[in-house]
Structure formats: structure tokens, C-alpha cells
Structure 1
């Protein structure tokens, strides 16, 4: 019996150019929200559940490559090819500040405490802006080995995660020292890196591979080969039992986390899929495409078997896999310790 499900998505129009980044807010007293970045230079805010348009942030003069919301969904940040990152009021749409850079900005991320904004791009410099002192110069972190593609915070804002457009690997930075302390090796450049909602996993997409890493001990938990080159992947946040991936073949596929088996294939986009993200409750996921649309797909109710194997966090099998990796790494560290002792161009598109 074929277990694959065909789902009719909510189709969100509005962007006139490719959608290149999506970001869901956490669940707030007013619900949850979805912000999108597009090459049309205008980030858009939507109701995360219905996909209804709320507003458009106007002010950039080049492609917007990255966008994010703070955890309260009160402010939005965007990174653009016009050599700036902007801070917006998510309630009014007003521009609060523009952080000028010397080249294209590809990534931005709010710290967990919402007090800092991290940016990176073609300059190969990570900058940390204090949002309580908007006019103060940023703290500049040691130069990145390559052009920055994605950024994220983890470990209660003590660690920064970055990937590069022109080389493989995920780099982890100690915020206190401003230096790289670990690199997670990949064969291809990492086009998507997501820290799970509970902070346990890092999900990456590189080439035709999706990988899951232990976010605390940095061991590789699982690695799956995909049917095509994928640009983005996202882990279901509530149960951790499935993930979605999208890429060159224009389809959004759903996979079983434990086996890597494909359990769903959603057709509808008319161009490569550049970004996929699960909603904060896991009841749906969104995809953004070269065709300029966002599609929100419902995951549907859990099956009886999924409910039996699920708890209030990632499934026990996922926890066991991560714990096994952690134990192996701890043993390695113990043995190691013993051994030591004895474009100026705006996007032409």
C-alpha cells in the first residue's frame, strides 16, 4: 500500500521574483507568523497558519536574501544585496534602522534574547549589532574563511553557526573569543542550516544530502541521500519523526527521520524550491520557490503508529541516536586527554 499523501497547499502570491528565504516566528499570544525574503526587494509578513498577507516592508533597493523575526514577532530583520541589513517594526511596517555594509548581505539572525542582530555576507565578516544602541558600531568577529551564506545562534547565544557559499562545512564560533572552535565537515557547500526548536539538532542541506547533527556534541546523527540536489531541509519540531526537503526538481518531499524513506511528495511549484520550513507547532510547512510563490502544506493528523511512538519532544529513537553519538564523542575526548597527558554591485538579477 502506498503511504505517500497528496496534499493541496495554500498558495500565497504577492512576490514578483523568486522567494529565497522563509522564517517562522515562535507561537505568540497572537498566533505565529511567517516572513519571506525575495529577490523583488520587499520582504512580506503573513499569518503563519492561514498564509494571509499582513504587510510588506518597503525600503530595500536590491534583492533580499534573508529575513527573520524575533521571538516575540515584534521586529523583523532583512539582509539585502543593496549592502544593508534593515530592522523593521513588525506591527507597523516602519523601518527602525538601516545597518550599512560594504558589500552584499546574505544572512541575518536575531539572538535568542532579542538584544542582538547578527549579519554576514560577501565581505566574509560576521557583525553583531546591539539593538539597544542602534547607532553604535558593531562588534566584528574574526573573518569568515568564505562568503557567508547562512547564520544562526545556539547555546543561549554563546555560539554562532555559519556556512559559506563557496566551500563546504558548518563553522561554529565561540561568541566570547570570536573564533571558530569546530567545523562540521560536508562535501558540498551548505545551502541551508537550521537549529531545531529544542536546540538538540542542526539540520543541514548540502548537495544532494541532508544531514542531522547533535547540536551539543556535534557528532553526525544521520545522513540521507536525496533524489536530487536539495537547497533546503527542515525537521518537524514537535515529534522529530519526519523532515521535509526541497530543491532542483521543484517538488517538496517528506521523509521519515528514522529511515530516510520518502513518505510524501508534494507537486505544485513551477520552479526550483529554494527554502522549506516547518511551522513552530509542526502542523504545516512552507516552501518558497523560483516561481515567486509560497506554498503552505498541511501535515495532517498523526497516524496511530506515530502517536504511539511520540512524546512531548523528539522521539525516543532520535534521542537514543543522539545520545549514542554523544557517548562516542565523550569517550574520544577522554582518550584524547589521556594521550595529551602521557557585487560595489547590486544583484544584477
Structure 2
């Protein structure tokens, strides 16, 4: 068991956080965007959680948010029947794309020229962002509201999920290639381009499928209903969170549970690894985002590990000071997670 996790808590949202996404690594580091029912998506520095700005303009809950690879643009999907594209440097709203129902999902192509949207009207839409006033390409075939829609296979294919069906589409012909039916309602979907892996969660199941054929690779069962899961970029481990407020970390190859601890004060709605794999972010019903270290005790971002001298090891205790983190919250989480604390925990400063 590793040392105790000391999360960085990102406050600012006033309602449940329902989606989050990281950019790629840029010359300025990497970035994190969060979608929240308060209608105010936020941009943060990815490795520290420091708030950069809030995108103002939606008139309803924001259900989905994403950044393009170099973090110059953001896109959001909302209950006000729109998707919006933003300048992620200035914060300016660039484009509003009107829909006929609630929009749940947005995803940029790798070149940032096209935006894929999906939502309650059961249609996938592909917008050419150089011609935003033009009618989008529309793909129909889903039989219930679309929860997630993602580009895959170098933007040649699309993966989308409605209630209990995941569908694979060919971009050039706009036709369905294959459909996968699952036993329970799909709660999340992640596409991992390296190795073409699709991560799907439904009920207590975390399933891994080929993104090209939808054939199952493997699946794990968690102790509680899972709302989201993310695979580490090096495919060593995965993290998942759900209805029991806990975060779970599993060995991807063996399925062994490596860690589990109370992560939030409400159900966890979304988890994602950072692009460098050094941390993962979780978003919750409690209105906060939390950042967690993949390797606890490593000096990274705001985490600084100071190992005490040998003779003082017995007396050493974890002392944590984190910007914007309520000390009593840390203590509450620590008491919940006391089973994962060594008697001699190196001193951690952030």
C-alpha cells in the first residue's frame, strides 16, 4: 500500500462537477477544463489546479467540456440547447452552435477544424468550424439520447454511446460499422488512441474494448456503481470513481485493486488521467475537483516530498499545506483513509 494520498482540492464551482478533460502537453504545460451544473465551465493549470478563468455565456447546466490538443480552444455542451466554442487563451466566446435539445458531448478533431456534438435529440452533428453558419453533417441511428461522442482512429471513425448501446461509425460514409449492446446504462466512455482502446463503464463494470472492432479486451467489476474510469497513458493502471464517493485504482494487467479511498463528499462523476500520467483529476457531486498523484510521495507540481532522517522516522507524521484546501476536509478524508497510512509517513509539503 502506498503512502496516504493528499489531494489538491479545486473549489470555485457551486454545483456538481459532471465532466472534465485535459489538453495535451503544450510549451506552457497542460490544462484542465471542468463542466458543471452551475453553467460556468472553468479552465485550470493542469498540474497545480490553479484557476485561470471561467467561460461565461451559457444559460443552463454545462454537461460536457473539452480542450483541443494545444489548449488554444475549448468547447462546451449545455442544457441551453447549445454547444459553444471558446478562445481558451482570451476566454472569448467564438461560436455558438444551436441545437434542438440538450447537448451532452463535444469533441474536437486533432486539427481542431471540426467539432463533434451529441445529445438528447439522438443525433450526432459534425460542424466545420471554418464555416460555423453552414448546416452540420448529421448522423442518425441512435435510439435514445447520446451521452458521449468521440473521434477515433485519426478522426476517420466516431464512437458514440446512448443508454445501453455503443456505436462505431465511419466518418467518410456516415454509416454505422458496428454496435455493441451492454447490460446496463452506459455511464462513461474514454478513447485511448495509443493501442486503440475504448474504456466503457456501466453498472459496476469497467470494460475495455477495441476501438476499431468493439471486441472486448477485458473487464473488471468494482464494489460499487461506477460513473467514470480512466486508463493510465502507459496502460499500467486505471482509476475509477462512482456512487460510493470512493476512488479505486487497479492494475490494468492483473485486475488487482491497488488502492481505494474516500475521494469526495459526494458521488464521483468523472475521473481522468493527465496527459503525462503523473496525476488524475476527479469531479464530484460535492462541487469540487480534486487532483491525485499517480505515484504518492513524488515531487511534482505542488507536491513536495521531504523524507525525514532515519532516527526521526518513527515520530514523522504527514503534514500537508495545500493552497485552497480546507484543513478539516483533509482531516476528514484522512480519517476515512487511515488504513492506507504507514506509521512512519514521510513529511509532505506542497
Contact 1:10 1:295 in 2 (8 A): yes
Give the TM-score of the pair, scaled to structure 2.
0.83
Could you tell me how far apart the structure 1 residues matched to 2:69 and 2:195 are?
14
Q: CA deviation at 1:264?
A: 0.9
Q: Deviations over 1:107-145 (max 9, x none)?
A: 111112211001111111111000111211111112422
Q: Deviations over 1:248-299 (max 9, x none)?
A: 0001111111122211123241100000000001100000000000000011
Equivalent residue in structure 2 for 1:31, among 29, 32, 38: 29
Contact 1:71 1:112 in 2 (8 A): yes
Q: Does 1:280 align with 2:275?
A: yes
- Matching residue of 1:215: 211
Equivalent residue in structure 2 for 1:184, among 172, 180, 184: 180
Q: How does 1:1-349 map to 2 (within 5 A)?
A: 3=1, 5-164=3-162, 167-237=163-233, 239-300=234-295
Give the TM-score of the pair, scaled to structure 1.
0.83
Runs of 4+ residues deviating >3 angstroms: none
Could you tell me how far apart the structure 2 residues matched to 1:266 and 1:96 are?
41
The alignment's C-alpha RMSD in Å is 1.5
- Matching residue of 2:331: none
Q: Which has the higher helix share?
A: 1
Q: What number of residue pairs does the alignment pair up?
A: 298
Q: Deviations over 1:153-201 (max 9, x none)?
A: 001111111111xx31211111112121111232112111111141521
Q: CA deviation at 1:92?
A: 0.5
Return 78-87 or 141-150, whichever deviates more. 141-150
Structure 1 gaps of 5+ residues are: 304-349
Could you tell me how far apart the structure 2 residues matched to 1:206 and 1:268 are?
20
Could you tell me how far apart the structure 1 residues matched to 2:286 and 2:23 are?
24
Could you tell me how far apart the structure 1 residues matched to 2:179 and 2:204 are?
20
Contact 1:274 1:288 in 2 (8 A): yes
Could you tell me how far apart the structure 2 residues matched to 1:155 and 1:242 are?
23
